[in-house]
Amino acid sequence: MTNMFKKSLVALAVAGFASTAFAAPLTVTQEFLTVAENDELVSNPVVIELGKEYTEQDTIVLTMTGGSIDGVAGWQPVITVAPAAPLKGITLGLLNTSADGTTATYRVTNVTGDAADQTTGIELTFTSFTFVASTIASSGVSVDWCGYTNLGSELECNDDDLITVAQQYSFAVSTDYNAVIDVEENRTQFVLPSPTNAGNNTLNDTATFAVTDNTAFDMFASTTGIDYTLTGDFSWVNTAAVVEVANCAGATTGSLNVAKTEVTFSCTDTNAVSVTLDVANNTGTTLLQPTTFSVSAEVSYTDGAIVTPVAADIKSSTYTDAAGEWTLNGSLVNIPYMPYGTNITQVINLTNTGGQTGGITVEGYDRTTNTRFGPYDLPVVAAPYRQVALAEAIKNALEDNGHVVDGAGERYYLTIVTNVAADDVEVYSAYNTGNNGARLVVNDSNGRK
């Protein structure tokens, strides 16, 4: 990885003009530039071919754009090319450089050879240049040069790339999570089959994703590891065995954070990784949640030339992609706030505008104890083209399962799940506190109020 391939600008004299076209400029990755040892990158030599006739006292000005030169030692004080018929010989002396070393002016101090020989076609070789790696632009480094007569008239100008830069890593999800949670099975499994995830069954769903490490460059970073983070609603997960990681050197399962919103694991390779969420391995109560998934990959890398890299030698880049979703084969409506207690009454009405009959369950979150509860089956159904009052049934379900609904009362977050098409359900929710009148509670009602 640290070998340098010597390349040069090749001669392409067209219509009397020289062309400083690099046969192959030094190719590097953006990631390598951030970890290059000693923050240095050595370019290839620059070779330009003269396309005009030069005489003594003419000048050639070269400018590097896109990076800072590490010192000015790269510019040779003298460049001499011996005559070789039909080409003349030429000697250039360094006249001056810019303060930052990116521009140098050379003067033609001597031209030798027969009168019939010419300077057109002479190749001038400049040494390699050491750049401060971290200053190199994402667009790379280019070389511009112009020749001038001793009176200041332009003879020719050309430009081309000295260093090109590209991204080394990319990341994409190739197979999404796409299971449909089965309401009829109380959200303990999926509908069979999974729409597009061939091979999955009612108890698992799999996503596949990969980091692509493109090393088709002269200089590129060395990958040290990848930290993956899978984001979604994992509130139903009670054991790490649910998360099955495959084709990853370093991990076979993932770690779930306390909030149950992220699964993390690390790999030491860039293989395509598959993560199966296996409901069959769950312990305790399973209540699958509709959710969207995304996955991020934090890729760590260093300069492979560093034999024993320390923490400061390692950098990272993070990439994120959507990873599908889980949906319900029914309706789910969230009521974010519903109080219960003395002198408080509730109004919760569900309207089914479709022709399907479906059962109704309620579940929720106790804002005082910070615990989830349910689902509880309600003794009512969503009949076709009907409205059903749920307030009393929900209050009884809460009370029957030990939740506070009287006295000082309690505040709950409620979720109503109905086994009919989501677009056919609308929920109106409100509450009364004494003589203060009804207070509307805005719910998501499948996108409608």
Sketch the domain layout of the chain as residue ranges: 9-166, 169-328, 331-447
Architecture of the domain whose range is 9-166: Sandwich (2.60)
Burial class (CB in 10 A: 0-12, 13-18, 19+), 343: exposed
pLDDT digits (tens, 9 = 90+) for 200-217: 678 999 999 999 999 999
pTM for the structure as a whole: 0.78
The pLDDT of residue 69 is 86
pLDDT value for 99? 84
pLDDT at 193: 62
pLDDT confidence of residue 444: 75
Using the 8-state DSSP alphabet, how is residue 19 labeled? -
Q: Which of 105, 103, 96 is nearest to 152 (CA)?
A: 105
- The per-residue DSSP string of 21-48 comes to EESS-EEEEHHHHHH-GGGEEE---EEE
Question: Helix, strand, or coil here: 434?
Answer: coil
What is the pairing mode between strands 59-65 and 141-148? antiparallel
- Confidence at residue 41, expressed as pLDDT on a 0 to 100 scale: 94
Q: What pLDDT is attached to residue 88?
A: 97
Return phi, psi of residue 350, to 5°.
-115, 130
Specify the pLDDT at position 192. 73
Residue 123: which region, alpha, beta or left (left: phi > 0; alpha: psi -120 to 50)?
beta
Query: What's the CATH number for 169-328?
Result: 2.60.40
Please report, for residues 50, 77, 193, 388, the alpha-carbon distance to residue 104 in angstroms, rounded to integers and kept in the order given. Answer: 17, 10, 70, 85
The pLDDT tens digits for 89-141 are 999 999 999 888 889 999 999 999 999 999 999 999 888 889 999 999 999 99
Residue 224: is it exposed, middle or buried by C-beta count within 10 angstroms (0-12/13-18/19+)? middle
The answer to whether 9-166 and 169-328 have equal CATH topology is yes
* Sheet bearing 204-213, strands edge to edge: 169-175, 204-213, 273-278, 243-246
Positions in the chain whose pLDDT score sits under 50: 1-23, 447-449
Q: Could you name the CATH architecture of 331-447?
A: Sandwich (2.60)
Q: Which helix H or strand E contains 397, and what residues bound it?
A: helix 391-400
| Whole-number pLDDT of residue 187 | 87
